[in-house]
Structure 1
Amino acid sequence: MSSDHPLDHAAIGQLYQAHHSWLRGWLSRRTGCREHAADLAQETFVRLLDQLKPRVREAFLLAQLDGLTCAQIALRLGVSKATVERDLSKALHACYRLRYAEC
């Protein structure tokens, strides 16, 4: 993420902390190794953010971290509500693909 991104590293850390537990637990059950699962959870989180296009990533973080509605995100980003809904759908689909990639 570029340094001019409006969401700070602390906010991204908050998102990581909120979702790291379930992801690490799921990976631990799949791999049978807690240490390996922790490494994989961090790598998965970084891959998710890296693979999202900037606007999709920003909409996802605004929804997840700030709790903004689609209408509020649309106003903030200067796009339509339908565009935000599509962007969030893309982000959630990416989460799903990462979580269930090995199933």
Structure 2
Amino acid sequence: MTICHVGQLYSAYRGWLHNWLRGKLGCSEQAADLVQETFIRVMTARPNIASLEQPRAYLSSIAKNLAIDYWRRKELEEAYLAALALLPEHEAPSPEQSLLVMEALERVDKVLQSLPSVTQQVFLLSQLEGLTYATIAAQLNCSVPTIKRHMHKAFIACMQVEPL
């Protein structure tokens, strides 16, 4: 089947992609959202799909990346909500503030995911666990200057995250 337009691709593969995503996510509504997002990505990334030889592989690749992003966001949200639950009620942020924090956390997480895993680990040990550079260096069996280089790299990456 030669597919020339996104509409034809959508008609031919929407049902299949929805079922595939529902199996991965266990949620029909979230699968439907990711199907729509997948086709939005197809339209913006590849408006001429006439040369698309393996539509299922192409669509599942995009959808898989979107599902990974979904799970990562969900993990972040759960961790944030768990931290909020520890706060006294009068100190809890408003829903608007919570949304802004979640959006900022998602952007920082995306930046950190682009860094080498050891840089991510060093940054998280320092910023979330509160470990000193010397402790991190001993734990990772490397030097303090190496830890400083990783932290510098992570801070520079975080500073490049655009503000809301």
TM-score band, normalised by shorter chain? 0.5 to 0.7
1:13 to 79, 93, 109: 79
Say whether 1:46 aligns with 2:105: no
Q: Name 2:139's counterpart in structure 1.
A: 76
Show structure 2 runs of 5+ residues with no match.
Answer: 1-74, 85-92
Deviations 1:12-45 (A, max 9, x none): 935xx69xx8xx86xxxxxxxx97x577435413
Q: Name 1:60's counterpart in structure 2.
A: 123
Shift of the 38–81 alpha-carbon distance from structure 1 to 2, 3 Å rule, reads closer
Show structure 1 runs of 5+ residues with no match.
Answer: 1-8, 26-33
Deviations 1:25-68 (A, max 9, x none): 6xxxxxxxx97x57743541331221111000000000011111
Residue 135 of structure 2 aligns with an amino acid whose one-letter code is Q
Larger Rg: 2
- Aligned residues with identical type, % of pairs: 30
User: Cα RMSD (Å) of the superposition?
Assistant: 3.3
Q: Work out the CA distance in 2 between the residues paired with 1:64 and 1:56.
A: 12
Q: Name 1:96's counterpart in structure 2.
A: 159
TM-score, normalized by length of structure 1?
Answer: 0.58
What SS is found at the alignment partner of 1:98?
coil
Q: Work out the CA distance in 1 between the residues paired with 2:140 and 2:104.
A: 29
Report how many aligned residue pairs link the two structures. 77
1:90 deviation in Å?
0.4
What SS is found at the alignment partner of 2:112?
helix
Q: Work out the CA distance in 2 between the residues paired with 1:75 and 1:93.
A: 24
Q: Work out the CA distance in 1 between the residues paired with 2:111 and 2:105.
A: 10
